[in-house]
Amino acid sequence: MAWDGVRRVNPIADLPVALSFGMGLDSASILARWLVEPETRDFPLDRLTVVTAMTGDEPDITRRLMEQHLLPLMRAAEVRFVQISRAAQAGGYVVLDDSREPQRMIMRGPWRLSDELKTSGTVPQVAAKRRLCSWRAKGSVLDAWYADEYQGHPFRHVIGFAAEEVRRAVRDQSYTTACRQPEYPLINDWGWDREQCDRFLYSLFNQRWSRSACGYCPFAGSRAGLPELVERWRAEPEIGADALALEYTALALNPRSRLFGSRSAQDVVRLHGLYEVQRRFEYRLEQPEQMWSLYDVRRIVHPRRDDPTRKGATWRSVRIGYTGARGDVEEAARWHAHKAGASASADGYGITRAEIVPRGPSFPALERTLAVAPAGALAKQRTAFESWWERLVHEQRQPDSTRHHLYLAA
């Protein structure tokens, strides 16, 4: 079958084969079909390595499906299964299991994507058309393992993009190196979309294969994936409460950080009557042992170099003003806001905040907000932030005619 833009690579029969295995419908279909229909592969199974990088936030149903259906097939065929995880925020990986007789799934390593999002006070984001979360939790970790495993020697790299994901496959090809030979059997050889994968796995296991995604995945909340996400939060309200908690801190530090872009997770919970999710989330916030912080958030929004009238890069500084019981921290927010000539009040998400320096209409723009949210996000700013902030505050006090000159001189 011909698909625009996706090159077919002629497989070299004796190369090792690595399947990047995300545990979702698509990669599970490839692995299951290779195991039960040997004529669908052109290599012996002793040449195959199945590799999974754990985010630490996959749902338990994924573990159950794997242990019930795929691990027994892999053990019977003695397929090598390597489970890895990012080692730490700074990078590296750890091997959680490496076996031709995998007995169980190890769904969490020393690092967890949600921990990283909590400490940075953000929700998953896309940058340069890449899902940063997926890159940090999976792509970069797998790449590091492949580099160590194959030591620059060529290998066939099989990825489970479904037939409707041609664009992702085309993008993936742009990262190809001399030793990595990417293959997309669902696109190039079988023409299987996700529906076909779903039918195949259901006919094989007599059970629906569920989506393997972090419970707060904003990409699962797209128009097509929303009904499944809502049902998942209804069935496992703790997962929905986790998503609300993640979003709450992100919104405190940036009110534009709605989990689903134009829609917040709070909206989704309200619109779909997910009362149990809401109740559990509020219960967490009300616990006396829950500590809260007063976050002092500043932003410098630079102008674009090629068009100073348009928004360029944004630098953010987060400082922790005070940590304690919620009531005390809210009181501190009111006091500091009053001192700065502003006032603190609850916004539409129930977050106490005060705009100390509202963002102006032109660039560079400065912005400063005090916001109250659960403790956990870490203070962070780039080294040059403070000097730029001082300089721009000084500049904004100057007459209009000299402002841009000062900025350029900096």
Closest contact distance (angstroms) between CB of 255 and ligand SF4 is 21
Residue 214 binding ligand SF4, by CB under 6 A: yes
Shortest spacing between CB 113 and ligand SF4, in angstroms? 6
213 binds ligand SF4 (CB under 6 A): yes
Segment near ligand SF4 (CB under 6 A), from 1-9, 214-222, 349-357, 388-396?
214-222
403 in Cβ contact with 395 (< 8 Å): yes
User: How many residues interact with ligand SF4 (rule CB under 6 A)?
Assistant: 11
Q: Minimum distance from CB of 218 to ligand SF4 (Å)? A: 7
Of these, 133, 344, 356, 366, which contacts ligand SF4 (CB under 6 A)?
133
Kindly report the CA angle at 293 between 341 and 279, in degrees rounded to 5? 110
**Candidate list 3, 150, 205, 219; residue touching ligand SF4; CB under 6 A:** 219
Position among 66, 74, 107, 137 found at the interface with ligand SF4 (CB under 6 A):
137
State the nearest-atom distance from the C-beta of 213 to ligand SF4, in Å. 4
Minimum Å gap between C-beta 282 and ligand SF4 is: 24
- The pairing of beta strand 180-183 with beta strand 345-346: unpaired
We find the least distance from the C-beta atom of residue 143 to ligand SF4, in angstroms, to be 15
160 within 8 A of 27, measured Cβ to Cβ? yes
Length of the chain: 410
Q: Does 84 bind ligand SF4 (CB under 6 A)?
A: no
Among 20, 55, 62, 264, binds ligand SF4 (CB under 6 A): 55
If one asks whether residue 246 binds ligand SF4 (CB under 6 A), the answer comes out as no
Residue 374 CB, shortest distance to ligand SF4, in Å, is: 20
Q: Which CB atom, from 133 or from 204, has the smaller least distance to ligand SF4? A: 133
Residue 219 Cβ vs ligand SF4, minimum distance, rounded to whole Å: 5
Question: Binding of ligand SF4 at residue 135 (CB under 6 A)?
Answer: no
Q: Pick out residues in 113-132 that bind ligand SF4 (CB under 6 A).
A: 113, 124, 131
* Binding of ligand SF4 by 317 (CB under 6 A): no
Interacting residues toward ligand SF4 by CB under 6 A: 55, 113, 124, 131, 133-134, 137, 213-214, 217, 219
